[in-house]
Amino acid sequence: MKKLFTVVAAAIGGFFGVTLLHGASPTSLSSSSALANGKQGGSTTVKTGSVSPKKSTTTTASANVPAVNGSAVGKTINYGYGQISVKVKVANNKIVDVGVNSIKTLDAYSTQIEQQVVPTLRSEVFKANGTHILLITGATYTSEAYAMSLQDALNQLHFK
């Protein structure tokens, strides 16, 4: 028992001794963080001194982006319970209409789910003005397929 205590105490003491003697230096930190980021070699330069304020300009993103107008139909997406294709209409960089172009489900239960889910997905598209919509629990595959078809239609219109 005394030998076991001595071995454990020596191991703990050795660990702390090595840690204290070889503490993290700024050089080792920059090398290890560079390796953690997948970079090898290289160096980190830190600039000290005062920083003078710079003028900032604000531009409206829509001023540089041409207006997107038009309608498109997304490709038909196969998912676990059927197929869905979404159509979208955009006017002045805003989604003004979105709906299902075609839908095929495998069974009556899937059809019932579709009837409940599609109106919710439609309202989510209007809120987000794009495909960054919340997926609906219990209809994940349908939600994902709807978003994928919608994204394809928006890509056809060059809508970002």
pLDDT digits (tens, 9 = 90+) for 27-63: 333 333 333 333 333 333 333 333 333 333 333 444 5
* 85 inside domain: yes
Burial class (CB in 10 A: 0-12, 13-18, 19+), 76: middle
Report the CATH number at residue 136: 3.90.1010.20
* 4 inside domain: no
Higher pLDDT, 154 or 21: 154
Task: Give the count of beta carbons closer than 10 Å to the beta carbon of residue 144.
Answer: 15
Distance CA 75, CA 127 (A): 23
Q: What type of residue is 102?
A: S
pTM for this model (two decimals): 0.59
pLDDT at 15: 54
* 96 inside domain: yes
Alpha-carbon distances, residue 93 vs 21, 24, 109 (angstroms): 61, 52, 36
* 114 inside domain: yes
The helix (H) or strand (E) run that includes residue 105 is strand 94-105
In 3-state terms, what secondary structure has residue 140?
Answer: helix
Q: 96-109 pLDDT, tens per residue?
A: 999 999 999 999 98
Residue 12, pLDDT > 90, answer: no
Residue 24, pLDDT > 60, answer: no
pLDDT at 2: 64
* 28 inside domain: no
State the pairing for strand pair 77-79/94-105: unpaired
* 26 inside domain: no
Q: Using a pLDDT cut of 70, give the percent of the chain over it.
A: 59
pLDDT at 135: 85
* 42 inside domain: no
Domain range holding 89? 66-156
Number of domains in the chain: 1
Higher pLDDT, 55 or 139: 139
101 close to 73: Cβ distance less than 8 angstroms: yes
Burial class (CB in 10 A: 0-12, 13-18, 19+), 148: middle
Q: Residue range 15-35: average pLDDT?
A: 41
